Amino acid sequence: MADFRIIPAIEALRQRDGVRTLDTLFGAEATVNALRTAADRLRAAIANGQGPADSDAAATIIESGAQAALAAGARGSLRPVLNATGVVIHTNLGRAPIAPVALERLAAIAAGYSNLEYDLAEGTRGSRTVHAESLLTTLTGAEAAVVVNNNAAALLLILTALANGREVVISRGELVEIGGGFRVPDVMRQSGATLREVGTTNRTRTNDYTATVSKATALFLRVHPSNFRIEGFTERPSLAELVTAGRAMGVPVVDNIGSGCLLDELAGEPSVHASIAAGVDLVCFSGDKLLGGPQCGIIAGRKALVEPLRAHPLMRAVRVDKLTFAILEATLAEYVAGRASSTVPVQRMLHATAAEIETRAMALGGQLAARGWQIALMSGSSAVGGGSAPGLGLPTVLLSISRGAESAAATEAWLRTLDPPIVARIEDDRVVLDLRTVLPEQDKTLADLLSRT
């Protein structure tokens, strides 16, 4: 028969030194609630015949359970992880890691007050929308720029401010859906603009755009497909051709390029500079993808079109805070200085060679082999991720790890229980680590975690 009498009273538990420490760290109310939950859990175990031998053991179990629950609650649900998947811009893992210099700037701005909306020269109220603009115009060649909280918001603001109640012409081949169910047509409808589809999924010509122009036409919209490619029997006007047609018809051209490539090096990804050079009126892109900065949406282009965006009421709903500006400006400064390929983590990962990754993998593999892991090096591919450069594989060297007869699925699941968790991938029924996406300064942490088995 279950003996619930061995479960101590809550007040008796609170007299224990360890529980008093919990009171101090987490507060009395939270501690009592955690004790009650742990006691209920023990009561259920006793009912199933799995209880401890005596009340002292029961008290220890309850205290330990309460401590674990309180610590987990205080830690929060958002946690750092080690990304060993080889997907550089991993949307599920928070996209771009932030550059150390940007973190320093973030700390300086976050710790006190700033001139977010204050004109230091005039001593009067200023506008937050001017921050990062000079860096963006320098890098892109645009006349003006403004920053909002993500690229979907950037597109929504453009369409709401410039095309509400009017028509926006877009190729059927660019009516895309990207991650999270985000569909370009849905955003367009939300803006109040009318979608005018032209061409076909695989073939759209310049005259398909111009044939639809009327007094109701507000914009030509071009959308980079991002996470898929259409190949074979296809046709699409060049950006320069679309711009020429737009100017001839008096219709501004907006280019949503998505990933925000500031360096003209990644195959298949349109760069911001190239878009502006082609003459588009506005270009919008993400800050936390190829750029390697914070989550934000950036709009750059002609001043005559940027200013209405800056003044639109929706701008207040999609504006960014001082922390985003701090990270963004520091990251952009690395591009201006020509250092981004070595100082911005995303760019550093993309530029890493297979030989460099192999050197790190060999060092880690040697440490793990000494701890009883079965290891092997194998050739593989990393992915850009984030809807960028679909189909482009980056040559890498993978470190395959296994222990005893444990299955790959069990090992992969165990890696996710560590602190910090390690997120790996399984290939050919083997757990593999791709160190391209593990920051070099995290190699020791990775080795220490795996050496504790």
- pLDDT, residue 2, reads 65
For the domain bounded by 82-91+347-450, which CATH number is listed? 3.90.1150.110
- pLDDT, residue 453, reads 66
Handedness of CA 318, 323, 324, 325 (dihedral sign): positive
- pLDDT, residue 268, reads 67
> How far, in Å, CA of 277 to CA of 387, rounded?
23
pTM for the complete prediction? 0.87
Phi, psi of 214 (to 5 degrees): -145, -175
- pLDDT, residue 260, reads 79
What residues contact 171, with CB distance under 8 A and at least 6 apart? 197, 198, 199, 204, 208, 222, 236
- pLDDT, residue 227, reads 57
- pLDDT, residue 229, reads 61
> How far, in Å, CA of 195 to CA of 59, rounded?
66
Q: How far is CA 305 from CA 66, 144, 153, 282, in A?
A: 58, 9, 16, 8
Q: Which fold has domain 100-343?
A: Aspartate Aminotransferase; domain 2 (3.40.640)
Per-block mean pLDDT, blocks of 10 residues, the chain (453 long): 79 92 94 93 86 84 92 87 95 94 97 94 91 95 96 94 93 71 76 86 82 93 73 72 93 90 72 92 94 96 97 96 97 96 94 96 94 94 75 88 92 94 95 97 94 77
Region(s) of the chain under CATH 3.90.1150.110: 82-91+347-450
Exposed/middle/buried for 301, CB within 10 Å: 0-12, 13-18, 19+? buried
What amino acid occupies position 228?
F
DSSP output for 224-286: ---S----SS-B---HHHHHHHHHHHT--EEEEEES-B-STTSTTPPBHHHHHHTT-SEEEEE
Look-up: residue for tokens 């589809």? 197
> How far, in Å, CA of 139 to CA of 154, rounded?
19
Report which secondary-structure segment, H or E, holds 323.
helix 322-336
Phi, psi of 412 (to 5 degrees): -60, -40
Region(s) of the chain under CATH 3.40.640.10: 100-343
